[in-house]
Structure formats: C-alpha cells, structure tokens
Amino acid sequence: MTDLIPALIVGTNSYVSLAQANDVASTRLFSIAWIAGTDATRAKALITATAVLDRMRWLGRKLVPTQPLEWPRVPDRAIPGYPLAVAVVPPITTATIELAIHLLGQGDMGGGPAVMQRMLGDSMVMFQAYTPDDLPKHVRRLIEPYLRVSSAHNAEVQF
C-alpha cells in the first residue's frame, strides 16, 4: 500500500508549505525524524501542528471571519476590512515547523506526567511532576508574544 500524501493547502489546513518546512528542517540539528520521513508523514505532521496551534487563544481577531485558520490576525480594534492583506507572522510559521519536527521525533505531544525520583537521605521519594503545557518550550517561546495568555500556567479572566 502506498503512503498517500494528504492535501496540504497553505491557508486552509497548514500555515506553511512542505517546501518551506523542508528548507527550515534542513538547517535544524535534531531533525533526523523529519529527514527520514516521507512527504506524506511530513505533510501530516504539518497539518497536525497547525491544528494544535490553531486551538490556542490568540491576541486580536481573524483578518477575515470566514478564513479557515486562526492566522492571519489583526488587532481587536482594527477597522473591519482594513488592512486588506496581512501575512502570517514568521514566528507562527516557524513554530508550526518546529512543532511538526517535534511531533515526528517524539511520536506524540507528551502530556503524560513524568515520574520523578529523589533521594532524601536513605529514603527515596517518587512523585509525578505536573506539566500543564503540552507544547515544547522552544515552540511556546516562539508563540508567547501572540497569545492572549502567554503561559499554560496562567488563566484568562473575562468580564
């Protein structure tokens, strides 16, 4: 059975093209899984990474209410219809690629609590560390300036 390449459509189900992602991944040190992957798995990783990022609570609003993805965005107070065109900001496209590379390398988003062990004298203490953020730190740092709430450790209060 052949591995079919899913329809990767920039602006519809991905923030970046496969060619853009391949260019960036070729410069990354830990992108072995990306390089070893097929175009089909790379496209799936980009679509999944876009879907994960698209669920975030971003500052501003969509440029056009009917656009399928959350980006491009404009400030909340921007006059409707202005500006006429806005590009997806580079940190979001980079975060999409970095998250896709991470997904291929790790196989999932993680999210499970890690069991930690500490020796206290002759006693060993085991506990599960609380990790509320499934995003890798390097991806979180790229997108933080564009989020309504910059950290998974904070909550947004609306009145």
Count up the domains in the chain and report the number: 1
Q: Which residue has the higher pLDDT, 82 or 115?
A: 82
pLDDT beyond 70 at 156: no
Mean pLDDT (whole number) for 77-88? 86
pLDDT, residue 151, reads: 59
Range of the structural domain that residue 97 is part of: 18-146
In a domain, 5, yes or no: no
The H-assigned helical ranges of the chain are: 18-25, 32-36, 39-54, 90-106, 137-143
In a domain, 159, yes or no: no
CA angle 15, 16, 21 (to 5 degrees): 140
In a domain, 75, yes or no: yes
In a domain, 42, yes or no: yes
Mean pLDDT (whole number) for 54-74? 94
What is the pLDDT confidence band of residue 82, given thresholds at 50, 70 and 90?
Answer: confident
Question: Helices (H) and strands (E) in the chain — how many of each?
Answer: 5, 4
Q: Which residue has the higher pLDDT, 78 or 156?
A: 78
**How far out from the chain centre does Cα 153 lie?**
17
Residue 4 makes CB contacts below 8 A (sequence gap 6+) with 40
Peptide bond into 75 cis (omega under 30): no
What is the pLDDT confidence band of residue 73, given thresholds at 50, 70 and 90?
Answer: very high
CA distances from 64 to 21, 34, 92 (A): 25, 33, 18
- AA letter at 113: P
pLDDT, residue 5, reads: 75
Q: Are strands 115-120 and 73-74 parallel, antiparallel or unpaired?
A: unpaired
What is the pLDDT confidence band of residue 59, given thresholds at 50, 70 and 90?
Answer: very high
Distance, first Cα to last Cα, the chain: 54
pLDDT beyond 90 at 109: no
pLDDT, residue 100, reads: 96
In a domain, 12, yes or no: no
Percent of the chain with pLDDT over 90: 58
